[in-house]
Structure 1
Amino acid sequence: MSVVSRYMHDPRKGHMEAVYQILRYLKSALKKELIFRKNDHVSIEGYCDSNWASCANNRRSNSGYYIFVGGNLVSWKSKKQTVVARSTAEAEYRAMILGVAELLYLKSMLVELKLDQEAKMKLWCDNKSAISIANNPV
């Protein structure tokens, strides 16, 4: 949807075909649902990833994350990065920054709701260089 929306002021035939394909998918997915289960824990766990220089027009990377609270999916986001990353490690590190910001927001919300003061937070990333950068206190 985000790619198609870039062309909404001057759509071409290919753009409209993509919109119709998206609408057909949404129509077929009406019976799909997210299931929320009651769990004994309120741990916060996130997963983040990015694809380096994926946009052919401006070489920007896309970042994404999804966050689980108590084992239930509560937040997700996919966004084009605002700057051009010079490496996969930088692109992944920027994705981690977005994920950590969301984890901290959800943690503060849980504290405000007095649900769990000691909720553990974990962020999972698959890039060793970005993890090393994040673990470096300097």
Structure 2
Amino acid sequence: MDGDVKLSQNDGEALEDPSQYRRLIGKLLYLTITRPYLSYSVNQLSQFLADSKATHLQAACRVLQYLKGTVGQGLFFSFTSAIELKAVADSDWDACPDTRKSISVFCVFIRDSLVSWKSKKQQTVSRSSTEAEYRSMANVICEIMWLFSLLKDISRQCYSVITRQLCI
């Protein structure tokens, strides 16, 4: 989904048959089980199920075009003996034009294998982009701490943790 596009409830004309849009989003939701990198786009599109517009359908069709072009791609999970956690976190300040809430995203990797990810609208409105970034970093730190305890329970040692920021 294009990062510059900010979908709103007031965009465009209402669809004549919104059931087509709902069925399409339902199928995309099911597809996120095997393609988790679609979660953000599908989450954004699913916010408009009650009152879908033509621009929302166009954005959903754009996701379908992306899927058509990336049929052979997937996630790679490698087997290694050493465990190294890497985390990438970011936020999109003032992302939702309707509520003015920011979106926090993070990905956690063990070596080069993606093991945890999240994209969620923040619960409160951030006063600045810095505050939104701190909320996103707090979320990823909580996830890393949970993974540390999980890895400790299965008696593996973590050699290092690398946290860095990624710009969307």
| Range of TM-score over shorter length | 0.7 to 0.9
CA distance in 2, matches of 1:49, 1:11: 28
> Does the 8 Å CA contact 1:44/1:107 hold for their aligned counterparts?
no
CA distance in 2, matches of 1:18, 1:107: 38
Runs in 1 of length 4+ with deviation above 3 angstroms? none
Equivalent in 78, 91, 94 of residue 53 of structure 1? 94
> Does the 8 Å CA contact 2:93/2:128 hold for their aligned counterparts?
yes
> Does the 8 Å CA contact 2:92/2:104 hold for their aligned counterparts?
yes
Partner of 1:67: 108
Question: How far apart are 1:124 and its partner, in Å?
Answer: 1.7
What secondary structure sits across from 1:55 in the alignment? coil
User: Normalised by the size of structure 2, how large is the TM-score?
Assistant: 0.67
Does 2:123 align with 1:123?
Answer: no
Deviations 1:28-86 (A, max 9, x none): 22200122223342011101111221222222111111111133221121111110111
CA distance in 2, matches of 1:97, 1:86: 16
Partner of 2:127: 86
Question: How far apart are 1:118 and its partner, in Å?
Answer: 4.3
User: Normalised by the size of structure 1, how large is the TM-score?
Assistant: 0.79
The CA RMSD measured in Å over matched residues stands at 2.0
Structure 1, unaligned runs of 5 or more: 127-138
Deviating more after overlay: 9-18 vs 66-75:
9-18
What secondary structure sits across from 2:162 in the alignment? strand
Does 2:60 align with 1:15?
Answer: no
CA distance in 1, matches of 2:151, 2:95: 35
CA distance in 2, matches of 1:13, 1:91: 31
Partner of 1:5: 46
CA distance in 2, matches of 1:78, 1:10: 22
Structure 2, unaligned runs of 5 or more: 1-41
Aligned residue pairs, count = 126
> Does the 8 Å CA contact 2:83/2:157 hold for their aligned counterparts?
no
CA distance in 1, matches of 2:47, 2:141: 28
Deviations 1:83-119 (A, max 9, x none): 01111221111001110111112112211222x2344
